[in-house]
Each structure stands twice: as C-alpha cells, then as structure tokens.
Structure 1
Amino acid sequence: MTNTETTRTIAVYGATGVTGGHLLTELNRRGITPILVGRNADRMHEAAAAAGVPAAEIRVADLTDHGALVAAFTGADAVISSLHSYSDNGEAVLAAAIDAGSHYTDISGEQRFLQRVLDDYAARAEAAGVTVVSGITDSSLPGDLLGYLTSRAVTGPAEIVLSHLSKSGGNGSKGSAKTVFANLDWFRSGGWHYADGEFRTDATARHTEMTIPGDTEPTAVSKFPLPPVLSVPRHSNVSFVEGVVPTKLHETLSGFTEEIIESLPEHPSSDLRYDLVVDAYGTDGGRARGIVSGGHTYRDSALMAVEAAVRLTDGTAKAGALAAAEAFDATDFLDALTPFGISWRIETR
C-alpha cells in the first residue's frame, strides 16, 4: 500500500451484499475509506462496521433517481458497482458514474450487459473523459487477460475456448441465483459465440469435450455465455471464441425455478475454489492453455474489482468503454493477484 493509494476516493454501490462485504474489506486493507452508496443508510452503516470501516461516508441514492446517483458519485475517483442482475439494474449506476466524471467498474458476469456497455456507453464515457471496464469477476477478468496472452502464444488467428470450472461443488449466493434466473433463457441457450468476424447464437458448442486440469479423461461440455467472448475479439487476432461449462451445469439450470431460488441460503459456501481455463488453438496445430486458480469466487472477484478500480484512478487508461486487456497490462495485473493465493500459468504444446 502506498501513500497515493490512501488518497484515492472510491465509491461502492451495493456494499451490503456478499461481494460488497469483500469489497469493503479489501478497500479497508489498502487504507482506502470508501463512499458507500445505496438505498438503506442503516444497512450501509452495518456493512461498513462489519468490514472495519465505521468512518465510511454514507450517501443515500436509489437506482431510480439519476440526479441523486450523480450527486452521490460526484467527487469519487472511481465507482465499483456490485449488484445482482445487471441486465435489469446495472445501467443506472453506470450512467450516473459517467455523468459524475468517475471511472467505473463492476462485477457483472452477464454477456448482454457487457454488450450494452461496450456498444452504448463508449462514446458517452469518452466524452466525459472517464474509463469504463465492465465485468471484473473471477471468470470475466482472467478470461479476457488470458485470452490476450494465449492468443499471442500460438500462430493466429487463434481459436479460443474459455471455461469456468468449480473445484469444490459449493453453492453460490441467493443473489447470484437471482441473476441467473433473470437471464435464464440466455444461459440455457449458451448466448453468443464469435465466429468469422461476428457474434452468433447457435446453441451447439463447437468443442463438446475438454480435459479439465488434473484429469486424464475428457469431460462433456456445453456452450455457456461467458462475457470474454465479447471482449477478446476487441484486442486479439482470433477467428473463433466460445465459452463452455461441464454439461452437468446445464442440466442443473434446466430445473431452476423461483421456488428453488427462494429456498437457497443468502450466503455462499465457504469453499468455492475454481479454475478459469482458456485454451488457444493455432492455425499450425499449436496450442496454449492459460489457467487462473483461485480460492473463493466472491472474495476473488472483489479483490480483482478493487485492483481494477485502483488502477483506473491512475488515469493511464484511455477514456471510453474498454475490455480489461485494453485498459491494463495483462501480465502485470495477473501477477498483482498472486499475493492473495490466486495463481496463473500458461502451458504450451
């Protein structure tokens, strides 16, 4: 932690949730006293106290009140948005942060929201002189950065396959389940993949098997809407990008109902280890595999989002809506995560 880091002002919308608590803990560890923005002042005070930052400034603003949100974010160097279902709720915070002149990042894992950010808010952010980097999660950020690195480790244009793999089998939070339910048709269909210069929605994955790190036999996989499918083609020489997950996860989603979601615990499991895997296939038959391994999905997403927000306050990234690898040095960012037990490597063959 440096002296300049403590002078940065970072606002958090959604600090009372599970990931919000991890955001506040990490900001406090860095010596940054955040501005908490949300609808309920009492809950925000409780969240700040629980994270050890009772002196945090509290500003009340509802998602439906653009003027109040802009006022709440005014003076913040960066805003971190921590919500569920960004496709339904995310644009209010994004638009207000830009209009307040604050850099912006979030913890969205939704393809359709990222598409709106990149297509509809780039010019607005550039005109305001701020940088917007959406989708800083334990799958989206490593997926984009590893997509950048692995595509350069093979002869291009590369074919990229991304997968987020649970190593613990634990459950996520109720908020995450609500996000999936709000986008259930999109998750079931597999969302977009990239092929030959355009985004497509064919339901069948091109790659139907993958060998999971540590396994010797392949696992059946199905197409899944991972956000780096949209961002990797922005900065890398690729002919094809798709996201996949073990087919068993799709079978679980097929039975998702509102009643099941309401029965889930509010908080996620304590053990949520994962691998984020990116396979790059070169035109000459060469292959590179990038792997990021972490200890807890929610904690690690918060760590990554705080790291991104702090880097944005340096003002070195160009203004506009960017992919992670457009805003940050991929190797340097991944290296910065290793002290937290988040490892990464690239294997070639």
Structure 2
Amino acid sequence: MTKTNSTESTKTIAVYGATGVTGGYLLGELHRRGLAAILVGRNADRMRAAAATAGLSNAEIRVAELGDHDALVGAFTGADAVISSLPAYVRHGEAVLAAAIDAGAHYTDISGEQLFLKRVLDRYSARARAAGVTVVSGITDSNLPGDLLGYLTSRRVAAPAEIVVSHLSKSSGNGSKGSAKTVFAGLDWFRSGGWHYADGEFRTGATSRHAEMTFPGHTAATAVAKFPQPPVLTIPRHSNVSYVEGVLATAILDTLSGFTEELIETLPETPSSDLRYDLVVDAYGTDGRRVRGVVSGQHSYRDSALMAIEAAVRLADGTTEPGALTAAEAFDPADFLDALAPFDITWRIEQP
C-alpha cells in the first residue's frame, strides 16, 4: 500500500452515513491514512460502534438529522471535506450537500443517480462558488472512472467523439439492500434509460445506438440497452463529443426493472464479497476509429469508498476551483487513476 502523505493527517473528513456498508469502507480508509474523522448521523451509539470497528477511537461523533439544516451545518463546521454516503440521493441527498456548502466544507458523495447529479450541477454550483468550496458529486466505481476515461479516450480519436459507457460485472454476486432502494427510488427513470447526450443537448428515449457490446475478455457480444449512466451528464462538460450514452447488459436491466418494495425487503443488507467489475468506455472518432478505456476493480462498494476518500483528500487540499465540478474538471484524470493502483484498481487504454 502507499504510505500516508504527511499532510493528510492535518485534514479532517466528515462522513454522513458512516454506519452502512460503504461507510465501513470509508472509515477503514480514513483510519489507514491517519485522517481526522467526524461521524455525523442520527444514532450516536451506532456511529461510535462503527468508529470502534474501524479503529477510529478518536473520531468525533456529532448527531444531526437530515431534516435539521442548522444542526447539519454545525456538525460539518470544522471539516475540510464532507463525504455523503446515503441510499436514494434523489430523495435524501440535498440536505447533506446544502449543509456542507453552508459550513464551508468541500463536498463529495457516492451517488449513482443521474437525476441527483443533474440537480447538483444545475442548482448548487453558484452556491458552492459563493462559499468558496468545491462540489464533486457521483464518486462511484462507475461514475468516476467513466468520467475520467471519457476525458482520456475522447482525446485519442478524431473529434467530435461518440462515447459509450458501460459497467460489466465479472462476478455473480449481489448488491446491498441500500443499492436496491436507490434503484427503486428512481425506478421509472431507470426503466426509461434516462438521459443521453446528442448534438449539444440531453435527450430522453429508451433506444440506444448500440444494441450489443463485446466486453473485455469476451469473444461473444452481449446484448445491451440504454441505462442512465451519470457520466453522460459530465463528459460533455469537458470533452468535444457529439454523442454520449450509457448502456448495461439487458440481463441486469431485466432484474432491476423487476424490483418491488416487497422484493427489496427480502434482499440481504450487505453485498456479496466478490463484486469484481470492468468499467468500459468506448470512444468512436469521426474517422471510424475506436479507442477503449477500461478500469478494472475488485469490489464495487469498497472501490467506490476508496475513490471517495481520494477525492475528499484532494478537495481538502483546497487547490481546486470552487463550484460544482465533474471529476475530470477537478482532478488530473491519469494521475487520479494512477493513485488507485495500490488497491488493485487498474486502468488501461486500448487502441486497436
């Protein structure tokens, strides 16, 4: 593993939602890096237990309800950066975001929802700039690599590029109940395929340009359909593209579309131990050439937490421009991806 940067120990990171599955990974990495931690949430006993399990005996515990803005602002005051770890951000996420900005703390989260990310970019950038803080939403094993690879691959083909983003599960494991609740909160949006980007604007419609993909290591093509990948919203902000869409294997989409409240209650609280994946970004140039970027990871929940900690530490340095930014706007794409190598999260660019 990499050595802890000597300047990291001077940073204080607040976590809202530290008692969940991803929260456990967040706290473990805060402990490994020797960072000062503030745990914020509703239940002090559960937060103390989570801190003790992670070895964060000196973590501050601050109680604040999502519905109490002033209490949240007070809880985040003194933090250099806030990480929000919640299910269903489209329902619950704005409370933590707004309070972090008003507390003068940089902000990131582990949202995978197009609807929430667009809300962040459209409504909170001016507020963040006025407060002098940076907001980078949507740091997950799909979103962050998708945005960074979109930047890197689009510059290797004739512009404007066409970008396709997809996530390939390399195991048969299941996600957590919290993830299922997130999907259910925006089920109609997931079923519709969400937004794609075409000729300068975001559009809806369930049909994707690409009905199948041959994933890394596969010889046969896999049937895919449109899926609301958040990098669809972020890549056009920093790259010369004519079209961006997200797709996912139709077999996975069929499972997601069948979620009901009753079914979700039967799901396990914790995800499987094996959740290996490839995040794949294909860039097609106007000359017909394709360049593929791939990030390969070991566990979707663990890796999302590690990426969020890396983002929070970089934001806490205070060197990014204020406002609501994408990952590629806030960080050097190759440098950020390289920083994940000690965790067996690797990346590559394939140029046939």
Aligned mates of 1:308, 1:192 — CA distance in 2: 25
Residue in 1 aligned with 2:174? 171
Task: In structure 1, give the amino acid aligned to 2:146.
Answer: G
Helix, strand or coil for the counterpart of 1:326? Answer: helix
Q: Does 1:98 align with 2:101?
A: yes
Residue in 2 aligned with 1:251? 254
Post-superposition offset of 1:255: 1.8
Residues 277-312 of structure 1: per-residue CA shift (max 9 Å, x gap): 000000001110000000000000000000000000
Q: Does 1:327 align with 2:330?
A: yes
TM-score, with length taken from structure 1? 0.99
Q: Does 1:300 align with 2:308?
A: no
Q: Does 1:237 align with 2:240?
A: yes
Post-superposition offset of 1:54: 1.9
Q: Does 1:345 align with 2:343?
A: no
Residue in 2 aligned with 1:120? 123
Percent identity reads 78
Post-superposition offset of 1:2: 2.1
Structure 2 residues not aligned, in runs of 5+: none
Helix, strand or coil for the counterpart of 2:291? Answer: strand
Residue in 1 aligned with 2:151? 148
Q: Does 1:88 align with 2:84?
A: no
Task: In structure 1, give the amino acid aligned to 2:312.
Answer: A
Post-superposition offset of 1:3: 2.1
Aligned mates of 1:4, 1:338 — CA distance in 2: 20
Aligned mates of 2:257, 2:90 — CA distance in 1: 21
Residue in 1 aligned with 2:293? 290
Aligned mates of 1:293, 1:179 — CA distance in 2: 24
Q: Does 1:78 align with 2:95?
A: no
Aligned mates of 1:199, 1:22 — CA distance in 2: 34
Task: In structure 2, give the amino acid aligned to 1:146.
Answer: L
Residue in 2 aligned with 1:200? 203
Residue in 1 aligned with 2:318? 315
Residues 131-150 of structure 1: per-residue CA shift (max 9 Å, x gap): 00000000000000000000
Aligned mates of 1:254, 1:320 — CA distance in 2: 35
Q: Does 1:274 align with 2:277?
A: yes
Which stretch shifts more, 211-220 or 87-96? 211-220
The counterpart of 2:60, out of the listed 57, 60, 67, is: 57
Post-superposition offset of 1:250: 1.6
Aligned mates of 1:2, 1:298 — CA distance in 2: 24
Task: In structure 2, give the amino acid aligned to 1:200.
Answer: R
Helix, strand or coil for the counterpart of 1:83? Answer: coil
Aligned mates of 1:141, 1:18 — CA distance in 2: 19
Post-superposition offset of 1:216: 1.1
Aligned mates of 2:147, 2:58 — CA distance in 1: 36
Aligned mates of 2:149, 2:46 — CA distance in 1: 37
Aligned mates of 1:202, 1:184 — CA distance in 2: 15
Post-superposition offset of 1:217: 1.4
Task: In structure 2, give the amino acid aligned to 1:41.
Answer: A
Aligned mates of 1:190, 1:276 — CA distance in 2: 18
Task: In structure 2, give the amino acid aligned to 1:113.
Answer: F
TM-score, with length taken from structure 2? 0.98
Helix, strand or coil for the counterpart of 2:210? Answer: coil
Aligned mates of 1:111, 1:68 — CA distance in 2: 28
Task: In structure 1, give the amino acid aligned to 2:249.
Answer: P
Post-superposition offset of 1:41: 0.2
Helix, strand or coil for the counterpart of 1:34? Answer: strand
Aligned mates of 2:31, 2:229 — CA distance in 1: 30
Helix, strand or coil for the counterpart of 2:339? Answer: helix
Structure 1 residues not aligned, in runs of 5+: none
Which stretch shifts more, 50-59 or 224-233? 50-59
Helix, strand or coil for the counterpart of 1:270? Answer: coil
| RMSD, aligned CA | 0.6
Residue in 1 aligned with 2:39? 36
Aligned mates of 1:127, 1:39 — CA distance in 2: 29
Task: In structure 1, give the amino acid aligned to 2:174.
Answer: N
Task: In structure 1, give the amino acid aligned to 2:89.
Answer: Y
Aligned mates of 1:54, 1:316 — CA distance in 2: 30
